Amino acid sequence: MLRFLIFGSGAVGTLLGGLLAKAGHSVVFVGRKWNVEAIRSRGIRISGVWGSHSIPPQPAFEKIEDIPNDLRLFDFIFLTVKAFDTLRAIEECLPVLQDVTQVISCQNGYGNCQAIAEKIGWNRTLGARIITGVEIPEPGIIQVTVHADAVRLGHYLREYPMSQLQGIALTLREAGIPTEATDQLEQFIWVKILYNAALNPLGALLGVTYGALSEEASTRTIMDRIIREAFAVTAAHGIRLFWETAEEYLQTFYTKMIPPTAAHYPSMLRDLQKGRMTEINALNGAVTQLGREKQIPTPVNDTLVSLIHFREIHSREQRKSG
């Protein structure tokens, strides 16, 4: 039995923690009151493409300091918060970090592992690329709506033992979480960044599905420019990708990546509709930041970041007013 802390018990965190708990591991959840109360009192129910599962009530709290002393030893901490909360989350976890504890970033966007490693060191920082659609229609209820690829578990340090990664991946697979160890974590993370940067903000601003964006020449032109800017800045920084050129990526993007998710609306659209902050800074914002560092212009990504920030402010004001 391993000991897990799920910090950020929303849809993804509740899914991962629920399956680990069902497999017999010790799991403690930390998250927002509305969901942790349900986990603590009624348990977790999971349905969808990963099967149906019913997990009894689990220890769940709103804050780290609420966790009893006898539950404060953890082998792994899964960070499943939004990218803009990464620094706060790892700082809050410091009191329960032991010498053996490793932190696994299960988050979207660029810079999460880097922010964690700055606080606890690279030797204790892992990352997981998750490309599975998960919804939480009501507290404690999880629906897995789409699964595009296995969770890719890896490390930014090439010398990190693959045998150790494979052992963790096996534990997750045995719990029903499709997981593969990789020594190409950076590449897998950027697969998702590129995909989300092209589709999420544009779909959120226009209120349309991924498929609709790919069907129109006007929006395809914008997405092409987003990707070309991203390839320019990643090349300048020596960031490893699976594709040599933007054109090679775009061919895969339109023919293989979009079709399976053509009917989906972007998660960023839901964030804006609910008056929440988005992860734009860790997606297109990362492209613009990396561009500034190398004096590479990124006008299309710059524009999308500004437009999404405007919508964030406007959406919050609308919800406050009624």
Give catalytic status of residue 192 as yes or no.
Answer: yes
Among the options 192, 256, 294, 320, which is catalytic? 192
Alpha-carbon distances, residue 167 vs 22, 172, 174, 316 (angstroms): 19, 9, 11, 44
Among left, alpha and beta (phi > 0; psi -120 to 50; other), residue 109 is left
Give catalytic residue positions.
Answer: 192
